[in-house]
């Protein structure tokens, strides 16, 4: 019994080695492909090695107890009996024409190498999920009310497209989530009809162009197109919501924005690139008040008086306290929310002077 296992041990190890070699290229994958398929390859390789070890050690010993001498009979299956004549003829022909067989195998090997050099470098093709997703961006200073309003406007415009079934927007995300987002960011999920029911666009690219025109009609928004699962998977692996991402680090936001714009222009000129976009890091509007010292000097006004007025109007000044039982609250004077956002209202503020006529 043990002699029989030793006889089949070499071809068995050879067969398992061939299967393991097939999985070795998967272990060299990187990026998204490596994250997805490396665990599977490791699992299969370790399982095969463990099975081979048990087959050569444990199984022969266990077989000596389970199969006694005289109880094991050897016979060929009907499939082997059917294939053996053809195999015998093929083997004899190969042994008689060794040069032809070796030459044919060499030619096939060379052709396989040439074919390998012409294969694409992408292991996983882009999967069409059927639905679309827009990564919506607005100015960082936008309020929650305005963010919801622009999302609703975009939803209404997208629903006017016949191929769209429904549109759902998700604006912002809490800080405790795995993917925190501000209120100026939204994920717009677009559920589409089956491709064979499309009428206004025949391809996915044409549909994206049509939706881009819809987005252009709404001021103050921008973003890129992706797919729900694809976007989430790319973000979890690389931290960016795209197939290829360039991360630029620095402290000066203006310099980062300038370099990012240059990189986007270069990448946009590369053949095969599509939907190149830059993550917005600037755009917060600011109100800059410049004091004309010569004019205020004519009226006897100090710069500190103007600064106090500006601070009171925009930030608020504590002028006292309000008591409610044991509770006390600061009494703050400032412009109301609507007036503080109106430049004309701020320009019309009056600075008190000593001279009542001025």
pTM of the model: 0.47
- Per-residue confidence (pLDDT) for residue 46, from 0 to 100: 93
For the stretch 48-64, pLDDT in tens is 999 988 888 888 777 77
- Per-residue confidence (pLDDT) for residue 47, from 0 to 100: 93
217: its two tokens: 């009609």
Q: What domains are defined for the chain?
A: 2-117 (no CATH), 132-243 (3.30.70.1430), 252-283 (no CATH), 293-347 (3.30.2090.10)
Tell me if residue 63 falls in helix, strand or coil: helix
- Per-residue confidence (pLDDT) for residue 2, from 0 to 100: 54
- Per-residue confidence (pLDDT) for residue 238, from 0 to 100: 58
> Could you count the other beta carbons within 10 Å of the beta carbon of residue 332?
12
- Per-residue confidence (pLDDT) for residue 106, from 0 to 100: 94
Indicate if the alpha-carbon torsion angle 54, 58, 62, 63 is positive or negative. positive
As a whole number of angstroms, the distance between CA 199 and CA 191 comes to 16
- Per-residue confidence (pLDDT) for residue 111, from 0 to 100: 92
- Per-residue confidence (pLDDT) for residue 48, from 0 to 100: 92
For the stretch 262-304, pLDDT in tens is 888 888 778 777 667 776 655 556 677 888 888 888 888 888 8
As a whole number of angstroms, the distance between CA 332 and CA 345 comes to 19
- Per-residue confidence (pLDDT) for residue 92, from 0 to 100: 92
- Per-residue confidence (pLDDT) for residue 252, from 0 to 100: 77
Please list the residues that pair with 330 across neighbouring strands.
321
Q: Which residues of the chain have pLDDT under 50?
A: none
Tell me if residue 129 falls in helix, strand or coil: coil
List, as one string, the DSSP characters of 284-350: ---------HHHHHHTT--HHHHHHHHIIIII-EEEEEEEETTEEEEEEE---HHHHT-HHHHHT--
């Amino acid at each position: 019994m043990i002699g029989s296992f030793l006889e089949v041990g070499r071809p068995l190890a050879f067969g398992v080695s061939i299967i393991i070699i097939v999985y070795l290229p998967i272990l060299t994958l990187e990026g998204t492909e490596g994250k997805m398929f490396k665990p599977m390859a490791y699992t299969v390789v370790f399982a095969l090695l463990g099975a081979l070890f048990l087959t050569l050690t444990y199984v022969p010993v266990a077989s000596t107890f389970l199969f006694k001498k005289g109880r094991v009979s050897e016979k060929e299956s009907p499939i082997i009996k059917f294939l053996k004549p053809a195999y015998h003829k093929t083997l004899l022909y190969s042994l008689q024409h060794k040069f032809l067989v070796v030459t044919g195998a060499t030619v096939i090997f060379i052709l396989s190498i040439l074919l390998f050099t012409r294969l694409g470098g992408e292991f996983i093709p882009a999967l069409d999920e059927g639905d679309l997703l827009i990564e919506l961006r607005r100015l960082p200073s936008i309020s929650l009310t305005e963010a919801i309003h622009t999302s609703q406007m975009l939803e209404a415009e997208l629903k006017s497209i016949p191929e769209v079934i429904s549109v759902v927007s998700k604006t912002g995300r809490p800080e405790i989530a795995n993917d925190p987002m501000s209120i100026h960011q939204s994920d717009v999920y677009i559920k589409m009809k089956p491709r064979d029911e499309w009428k206004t666009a025949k391809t996915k690219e044409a549909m994206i162009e049509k939706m881009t025109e819809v987005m252009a009609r709404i001021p103050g928004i921008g973003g890129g197109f992706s797919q729900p699962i694809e976007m989430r998977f790319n973000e979890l692996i690389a931290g960016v919501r795209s197939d290829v991402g360039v991360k630029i680090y620095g402290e000066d936001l203006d310099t980062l924005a300038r370099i990012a714009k240059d990189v986007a222009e270069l990448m946009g000129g590369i053949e095969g690139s599509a939907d190149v976009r830059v993550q917005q890091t600037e755009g917060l509007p600011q109100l800059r008040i410049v004091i004309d010292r010569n004019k205020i000097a004519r009226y006897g006004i100090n710069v500190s008086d103007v600064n106090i007025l500006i601070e009171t109007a925009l930030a608020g000044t504590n002028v006292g306290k309000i008591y409610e039982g044991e509770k006390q609250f600061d009494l703050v004077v400032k412009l109301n929310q609507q007036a503080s956002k109106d430049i004309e209202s701020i320009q019309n503020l009056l600075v008190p002077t000593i001279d009542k006529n001025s």
